[in-house]
Amino acid sequence: MDRYRFILSGGGTGGHIYPAIAIANELKRRHTNAEFLFVGAKDKMEMEKVPQAGYKIEGLWISGIQRKLTLKNLMFPLKLISSLLRARKIVKQFKPDVAIGTGGFASGPLLRMAASAGIPCVLQEQNSFAGITNKLLSGKAKKICVAYDGMERFFPKEKIVKTGNPIRMDLVNLKKDNKEALSFFGLNPNRKTILILGGSLGARRINQLIERELDFFDAMGLQVLWQCGKLYFEEYRKYNSETVKVLAFVNRMDFAYTAADVIISRAGAGSVSELCLVGKPVLFIPSPNVAEDHQTQNAKALVTKDAGIMLKEMELDSTFEERFSQLMNSEEMQQTLGANIRKLAMPKATEHIVDEIEKLLK
């Protein structure tokens, strides 16, 4: 039996961590004797999430560059040198067959050192606008797995493989019948349901919008399934009622998606990939506070294919009610958006990424 060794790095946010874990799980399914090691940034969420998923992780002393001059920025060269030396030691000791990077600060030093040790490297880029770490590493990688068209703007064309983004397997076969899902959340089967998603921590601007529009939704005869995020739950739980369900976190995303008629969401890469699979009409409100404004780019990639509606945060006060009413009052528009977003789904993304990794093992 082959005792392959895989080293993976991706972190800082769930958008980088969960794809790395999904890839590891698929590799493990195919190669039961394989060994795995993750490398992350010492004080980031991967140090908690990766062990929860059953994998070992080593931490590097690394962080990103702030946009303004700070003490952290002055420390950056020191952190980078320290991380490169630590990464070199980890690679030397672990002796991986392949190194896999899904973006985030820690994957920079790790893949850099793996490549210089002659280990084949695979990058996975989730967004339609490539992250800085992956752009810097692209020259060293053997393969770059992407989720959007037009990525040759950022990467060498001959290395790009369009695979899609890894997604949770429980979403691949969503039930059509929503009775069980509605009763799970205590929702009324006679009302249409709007699902609000602001990411696991929540999105302040989306929460402020929903709070302001609750009467508007009620007047339209709608009910609201509102994932406000754990940072905001105490502030918004008071709105829990027959027609408004406020949750810090959604444990059954499959039920939430099944119950929803229309979805209001951020446009992180993982969310967008899931929403394509779900195939319901979506109003995207991208976060303007992320690197390279990639959420706006992700949403635009869908809007141009008539597969979603986008409103920028600064447009919410002036146009939200008008655009939302337009969507809710047109069954045709809802069906068109749902059908078009579903066409973009890539449910076998994880398998295709692992197929590319396996080619490098031969």
- Bind-site residues for UDP-N-acetyl-alpha-D-glucosamine: 13-15, 127, 168, 200, 295
Which among 256, 209, 203 has a CA at the least distance from the CA of 232?
203
362 token code pair? 């031969």
DSSP 62: -
Annotated binding site: 13-15, 127, 168, 200, 295
- Sheet of 5-9, strand order: 57-60, 35-41, 5-9, 98-101, 121-125, 143-146, 160-162
Under a CB-based contact definition with an 8 Å cutoff, are residues 243 and 218 in contact?
yes
CA distance 138 to 270: 21
178 token code pair? 């929503």
Backbone angles phi, psi at 320, to 5 degrees: -55, -55
CA distance 175 to 184: 14
3-state helix, strand, coil in the chain (%, to 5): 50, 15, 35
Owner of token pair 């195939």: 279
CA distance 300 to 309: 9
Backbone angles phi, psi at 8, to 5 degrees: -130, 145
Rg (CA), the chain: 21
